[in-house]
Amino acid sequence: MSSTARSCRCSIAPRARPSPRPSMRRPVMAEVTLTDISKAFGETQALSNVNLTVRDGEFVVLLGPTGSGKTTTLRLIAGLEKPDAGRVSIAGRDVVSEAPASRDVAFVFQQYSLYPHLTVYENLAFPLRSPARRLPETEIDARVREVAKMVRIDHKLENRSTKLSGGEMQRVAIGRALVRKPAIYLMDEPLSSLDAKLRGELRLELKRIQNEIGSTLLYVTHDQVEAMTMADRIGILAGGRLVQIGTPREIYSNPANLHVAARLGQPHINLIPEGLLPGGSAPTGTKTIGARTEHLEIVRSGQGNAEIDWIEHLGDQNHLHIKVGQHKLVTLADPYLAIGRGDRIDLKLRNPLYFDAGGQRLT
Ligand SMILES: Nc1ncnc2c1ncn2[C@@H]1O[C@H](COP(=O)(O)OP(=O)(O)OP(=O)(O)O)[C@@H](O)[C@H]1O
């Protein structure tokens, strides 16, 4: 894994965190570190030499295609799997030999695993009622009500969990992790079973809550919009390796290789051979050029080097499908751009991304 050494062209000022409410403040510092972690299941190498630090209070999102090792990473931290090699430490303590219950982590899964016969109140109180905790009822009650307010389910405390909508159930599942105040929250695609509108709403809620309580959170998703909007840093996993970690802006603007470049951006980055389009100045060894919308200049011209093949109307924006010889590119365009199917255009590159034959970024 390599933490990208490239400097970000657009630096992002650290965000000020609001002070957490006194009762929700976490009792311990909670940095999580994976050192040289490898894990195989039979012939499948799920993770190879993964090094990752989630800093205290940080929201890190692991993004990667199916089978890239995201869930395995969470399960190793939670103690549900043992690494073949490497160390897992939480708050400076090596936890590899500790049982899951002693690790002080809370796991939220994709499917809200609520107790259907219990009310929302009882579901939220459940983790606080373990014999090991022995919390007084008054404290349990105060915590349940505070968390219910935080996840905006306080108006349904007496409802059976089966009487809730999908979004409400997932709020309860998140609330049930929050009541425990663990050192770290691990979330495995907690929003993926919800419809797009709810996902958008809960995305904002989750970010707000994490900001409010300043918790350390490692979150797994396939969804680039979730990663871009929620993460302090995004870690890109591919084939069991952490190929890059950085702020969303760094990962988007300064991808270390073709794989990372293709993970972020809508429409997908256009990957074209060097020499296909004029403009830019390719360094020696360039094989492939990565061109997003902001790297393409379009001028209408009767003699142009490209042709508009198709226009997809998305409402606020259009996707222009452009043909350059045998190659097809897609770019975003203003819906008012006076251009139509079959029009010829001049297409030029403007500071695109350059990659060598091995797919590594060149600058
Ligand atoms: N218990 C297991 N037994 C055998 N193979 C496993 C097991 N758990 C994971 N794997 C394999 O390890 C690899 C990584 O799996 P993992 O679930 O971590 O990927 P993922 O990135 O979370 O995928 P998805 O997005 O589909 O959940 C995959 O090839 C998977 O098939």
**pLDDT value for 231:** 96
Residue 13 has pLDDT above 70, yes or no: no
Ligand 1 atom at minimum distance from 75 CA: 18
Q: What is the whole-number distance in angstroms between the Cα of residue 55 and the centre of ligand 1?
A: 25
CA-to-CA dists, residue 46 to 66, 85, 96, 186, 362, angstroms? 11, 12, 18, 18, 29
Q: What is the whole-number distance in angstroms between the Cα of residue 69 and the centre of ligand 1?
A: 6
Ligand 1 atom at minimum distance from 42 CA: 4
Alpha helices in 17-165 (DSSP H): 70-78, 120-125, 137-150
**pLDDT value for 330:** 97
Question: Is 90 strand, coil or helix?
Answer: strand
Residue with tokens 């998703």: 221
Residue 23 has pLDDT above 60, yes or no: no
- Asked if residue 218 lies in contact with residue 187, where contact means CB atoms within 8 angstroms, the answer is yes
Burial status of residue 40 (CB atoms within 10 A of its CB: 0-12, 13-18, 19 or more): middle
Ligand 1 atom at minimum distance from 73 CA: 18
Residues having CB closer than 6 A to ligand 1 are: 41, 44, 46, 64, 66-72, 222
In residues, how long is the chain?
363
Q: With CA atoms as reference, report the closest residue to 128 among 177, 57, 95, 166.
A: 177
Long-range contacts of 189-194 (CB under 8 A, 24+ apart): 189/110, 189/220, 189/221, 189/222, 190/108, 190/109, 190/110, 190/219, 191/221, 191/223, 191/226, 192/110, 192/221, 192/222, 192/223, 193/110, 193/111, 193/112, 193/166, 194/166, 194/167, 194/170
Q: Whose CA is nearest to atom 1 of ligand 1?
A: 41
Provide the residue ranges of all domains of the chain, joining segments of one domain with +: 22-104+182-263, 270-362
Q: What is the whole-number distance in angstroms between the Cα of residue 37 and the centre of ligand 1?
A: 15
Percent above pLDDT 70 for the chain: 92
Residue 193 has pLDDT above 80, yes or no: no
Q: What is the whole-number distance in angstroms between the Cα of residue 34 and the centre of ligand 1?
A: 18
Q: Whose CA is nearest to atom 26 of ligand 1?
A: 66
Residue with tokens 């929620």: 230
Q: Whose CA is nearest to atom 18 of ligand 1?
A: 69
**pLDDT value for 345:** 93
Q: What is the whole-number distance in angstroms between the Cα of residue 23 and the centre of ligand 1?
A: 37
Residue 145 DSSP one-character state: H
- Asked if residue 48 lies in contact with residue 38, where contact means CB atoms within 8 angstroms, the answer is yes
- Asked if residue 53 lies in contact with residue 32, where contact means CB atoms within 8 angstroms, the answer is yes
Predicted confidence (pLDDT) per residue in 287-317, tens digit: 999 999 999 999 887 789 999 999 998 888 8
Q: What is the CATH number of domain 22-104+182-263?
A: 3.40.50.300
Q: Whose CA is nearest to atom 28 of ligand 1?
A: 67
**pLDDT value for 90:** 93
Q: What is the whole-number distance in angstroms between the Cα of residue 218 and the centre of ligand 1?
A: 17
Ligand 1 atom at minimum distance from 68 CA: 21
Joined together, the tokens standing for residue 7 give 């400097």
Entry pTM? 0.85
Q: Whose CA is nearest to atom 17 of ligand 1?
A: 71
Q: What is the whole-number distance in angstroms between the Cα of residue 63 and the centre of ligand 1?
A: 14
CA-to-CA dists, residue 211 to 59, 177, 223, angstroms? 9, 16, 21
Q: pLDDT band at residue 14, thresholds of 50, 70 and 90? A: very low
- Asked if residue 120 lies in contact with residue 112, where contact means CB atoms within 8 angstroms, the answer is no
Residue 42 CA neighbour count, 13 Å, CB half: 0
Q: What is the whole-number distance in angstroms between the Cα of residue 67 and the centre of ligand 1?
A: 5
Rounded-to-integer distance, Cα 126 and Cα 110, Å:
19
Predicted confidence (pLDDT) per residue in 51-69, tens digit: 999 999 999 999 999 999 9
Write out the CATH class of domain 270-362.
mainly beta
List, in sequence order, every residue forming a beta bridge with 74; answer none if it has no partner: none
Q: Whose CA is nearest to atom 24 of ligand 1?
A: 66
**Would you call the peptide bond into 267 cis, given omega within 30 degrees of 0 as the criterion?**
yes
Residue 15 has pLDDT above 50, yes or no: no
- Asked if residue 234 lies in contact with residue 245, where contact means CB atoms within 8 angstroms, the answer is yes
Q: Whose CA is nearest to atom 6 of ligand 1?
A: 41
Residue 265 has pLDDT above 70, yes or no: yes
**Substitution site in 41, 48, 222 for ligand 1 pocket (most atoms within 8 Å of beta carbon):** 41
Q: Whose CA is nearest to atom 12 of ligand 1?
A: 46
Rounded-to-integer distance, Cα 9 and Cα 112, Å:
40
Ligand 1 atom at minimum distance from 240 CA: 14
Q: With CA atoms as reference, report the closest residue to 106 among 78, 130, 132, 125.
A: 78
Q: Whose CA is nearest to atom 25 of ligand 1?
A: 66
Rounded-to-integer distance, Cα 272 and Cα 287, Å:
9
